[in-house]
Amino acid sequence: MGILTLPFRLKRLSEQLQQDGFKLFRYSGTTFESKWFPVFCYLKEAGPTSVTDIARGLGVSHPGINQISKEMIAEGLVASYKDVSDKRIRVLALTSHGKHVIKEIDPLLRSIRTVLQEVADQSGDITFLDRLEHALDKDSLYERFVSRYEAPGYEVTLVTYKPFYRSAFARLNEEWINFYFELEERDRRILNDPERYIIHRGGEIFFALSDTNQVIGTCALVMHEGSIGELSKMAVVPEARGRGVGRMLGEAIISFARDKNLEQLFLETNSVLAPAIRLYRDLGFEEHPFPNKSSYGRADTYMVLSERE
């Protein structure tokens, strides 16, 4: 299910770390709870703060902070009192006991930090979480969903190559290649003369047209010796991405290749193009070692269409 499992996996990871935190605090002989830690740190840095402001500052629910604060008050770590300027507001502050506990568990927290850093170093780039939070702060998943599905839709039609579409084929590919990489000599040869390098050699180029007959995507099947085909030059305009246009083009290429009874269909891409690689895997392509050196300097991933239907 890929990216659809992200919320579940993050929740599972959070629960696992919380459970381990509970066990290691017990192992160390303290009754401190790991779930108190964010509120503890917030009050230590900010001083006396209202429940509402803590919830806002930590980005969590007001009831959640209420529940945690009740537990911390019961342990004598936090005191609750009404704001002097507004009696309706409840303020939390660390007690003298709470401040003492901070000093007491500081060596333990340093050890936990070291172990967590070790986990982060082994798992790669933990700044992924920073980027994920920043992206969702900018536009939430809900906002992105509504924006995409309330946008005006259009019917997509697939057509095959005609000289009329030559300029669109070149333009779409030049735009996406130059956005991520640099146009190479082989790109220029194919894009400037698709008839010679694709059509006249038995290949085909498909184009996705909007309901206003605008070219919004393209993809080619390039023929190689030995009845081998290459899925190549897939490009979709930014405003049409995520709407299944790339999948339609990929399926058209696969169907064309099967009609020609090709022995193999492969593609070359780059590992930074994660959405494209996910699409190719969904279409049935699997990663293999390069059989020969690629004609493209940017290519570092070689994929072959599996035998399954």
Token reading at 308? 């399954």
Q: Are strands 264-269 and 301-305 parallel, antiparallel or unpaired?
A: antiparallel
Cα 192 to Cα 120, 172, 199, 220: the distances in Å are 47, 13, 13, 14
Residue where the block lists tokens 């019961």: 74
Count of domains in the chain? 2
220: which residues sit within 8 A by CB, 6+ positions away? Answer: 169, 190, 194, 198, 203, 204, 205, 206, 231, 232, 233, 234, 253
Instruction: Clarify whether residues 162 and 279 are in a common domain.
Output: yes
Instruction: Clarify whether residues 227 and 179 are in a common domain.
Output: yes
Residue 248 is predicted with a pLDDT of 94
DSSP annotation of 200: G
* Overall average pLDDT of the 232-259 stretch: 92
The answer to whether position 89 is within a domain reads yes
- Choice among 68-77, 220-229, 253-262 with the minimum mean pLDDT: 68-77
Q: Average pLDDT over the chain, rounded to whole?
A: 88
H or E segment at 99? helix 96-123
Residue 126 is predicted with a pLDDT of 73
Name the burial class of residue 171, with classes exposed (0-12), middle (13-18) and buried (19+) by CB atoms within 10 angstroms of its CB: middle
The answer to whether position 233 is within a domain reads yes
Residue 308 is predicted with a pLDDT of 47
The answer to whether position 130 is within a domain reads no
The answer to whether position 131 is within a domain reads no
* Overall average pLDDT of the 200-212 stretch: 94
80: which residues sit within 8 A by CB, 6+ positions away? Answer: 69, 73, 90, 91, 92
CA angle 82–88–94, rounded 5-degree value: 30
CATH number of the domain residue 12 falls in: 1.10.10.10
Instruction: Clarify whether residues 162 and 301 are in a common domain.
Output: yes
Residue 192 contacts residue 170 (beta carbons within 8 Å): yes
The answer to whether position 133 is within a domain reads no
Q: Are strands 90-94 and 78-82 parallel, antiparallel or unpaired?
A: antiparallel
pTM: 0.54
Instruction: Clarify whether residues 115 and 189 are in a common domain.
Output: no
The alpha carbons of the chain give a radius of gyration, in whole angstroms, of 28
Q: For 161-196, what is each residue's pLDDT tens digit?
A: 999 999 999 999 999 999 889 999 999 999 999 999
- Which pLDDT band, with edges at 50, 70 and 90, does 309 fall under? very low
The answer to whether position 22 is within a domain reads yes
The answer to whether position 152 is within a domain reads no
Instruction: Clarify whether residues 109 and 162 are in a common domain.
Output: no
CA angle 13–17–20, rounded 5-degree value: 140
Taking residue 287's Cβ as centre, other Cβ atoms within 10 Å add up to 13
Domain that holds residue 268: 157-305
Name the burial class of residue 269, with classes exposed (0-12), middle (13-18) and buried (19+) by CB atoms within 10 angstroms of its CB: buried
pLDDT at 145 over 80: no
Residue where the block lists tokens 């911390």: 72
Residue 48 contacts residue 91 (beta carbons within 8 Å): yes
Instruction: Clarify whether residues 61 and 181 are in a common domain.
Output: no
Cα 300 to Cα 84, 190, 281, 292: the distances in Å are 64, 20, 16, 12
Instruction: Clarify whether residues 200 and 92 are in a common domain.
Output: no
DSSP code string of 260-273: TT-SEEEEEE-TT-
The answer to whether position 140 is within a domain reads no
d(CA 296, CA 31): 60
Instruction: Clarify whether residues 64 and 174 are in a common domain.
Output: no
Q: For 279-299, what is each residue's pLDDT tens digit?
A: 999 999 999 999 999 999 999
* Overall average pLDDT of the 234-247 stretch: 89
